[in-house]
Amino acid sequence: MASLYTQQSRNVLRTWVLMGTFLILVILVGFVAAQYYGNASLLYVATGIAFAMNISAYWFSDRVAIASTGAYPADPAQYIELHRIVENLAITAGLPKPRVYIINDPQPNAFATGRDQKHAVIAVTTGLLGMMNKTELEGVIAHELSHVGNRDILVMTVAVVLVGVISMFANIAIRMSYFGGNRDREGNNNPLVIIGFIAAIILAPIAAQLIQLAISRKREFLADASGALLTRYPEGLESALSKLGAYAAPMQRASTTTAHLFISNPFGTHAAGQWFTKLFSTHPPIAERIAALEGLEV
């Protein structure tokens, strides 16, 4: 039977797989671009960037996530109740208290980030604080602490940087091809190379998105269950999820790069409804998550 420790080990493995896949994708795009433009230095540049970004993703991706969402430290005096809830639940979970951040946004939402339990951050929106009662807020915080406890935050946070970089590379390649680039006169005009280049700039961001989705779905169910067990009151998280599901408006700074971090879809819960949009959603439907909690025994 899988335990917390096996889940932690799997997330560490997923992180290495994610970083390795990123490395291969970027080098592949660099290779195809080098062939297309007849410039071998593009491959060397792509390889160097790939290694540098892998290192940066591990050490600095939490700062990128915080900056991307506009989060700022929660003043302990102004948000004393929030700090108290985070501290009490962290003690119950046997975890160091994460740093607490606030996002000034009316949408109720929250996320956890950081490379390990000692460098964890929990951020909540002002909309969440205004909408949730104490038991509901405890359910949300317990959910995020579960991400910290089973090391979901490691793979989730690394994905923020790596998926963003792949998308950036693809956008640059598309713009270069659109404007003709600076292709050398002796560049490779082989139709197969051109097709490969086009395929690379199209498939690379799709592959990055699929990687992102692969680490996003099941972990939400697990964090819901773990959070409910932590508070011993699943009804609190169920009620919180119901309120999250009823809020349709997107966050002001919603981004595909950080969407998988949040407890609820930052683009609005009604953004995903049909089977196709559900396939590319970073979150399971709220109704399915509530149903899973209702069948949970604590």
Q: Are strands 110-113 and 121-125 parallel, antiparallel or unpaired?
A: antiparallel
Gap between the Cα atoms of 179 and 162, Å rounded: 26
Strands in 72-73's sheet, in edge-to-edge order, are 72-73, 99-103, 121-125, 110-113
Q: Bin 181: left if φ > 0, else alpha if -120 < ψ < 50, else beta.
A: left
| pLDDT the model gives residue 277 | 53
CATH fit for domain 68-152+216-294, picks 3.60.10.10, 3.30.2130.10, 3.40.718.10, 3.30.2010.10: 3.30.2010.10
Active site residue 144: yes
Query: Which one of the listed residues 136, 138, 144, 220 is annotated catalytic?
Result: 144
> Could you tell me the residue ranges of all domains in the chain?
4-60+157-214, 68-152+216-294
Q: Are strands 72-73 and 99-103 parallel, antiparallel or unpaired?
A: antiparallel
pLDDT by 10s per residue, the chain, length 298: 344 445 556 666 777 777 787 788 778 878 877 887 788 888 888 888 888 887 877 788 788 889 989 999 999 999 999 999 999 999 999 999 999 999 999 999 999 998 889 999 999 999 999 999 999 999 999 999 999 988 888 777 777 777 777 777 666 666 666 665 554 445 555 666 666 666 666 666 666 666 666 565 678 888 998 999 999 999 999 999 999 999 989 999 888 778 888 999 898 866 555 555 555 566 788 998 999 898 776 6
Gap between the Cα atoms of 254 and 244, Å rounded: 15
Tell me the whole-structure pTM to 2 decimals.
Answer: 0.78
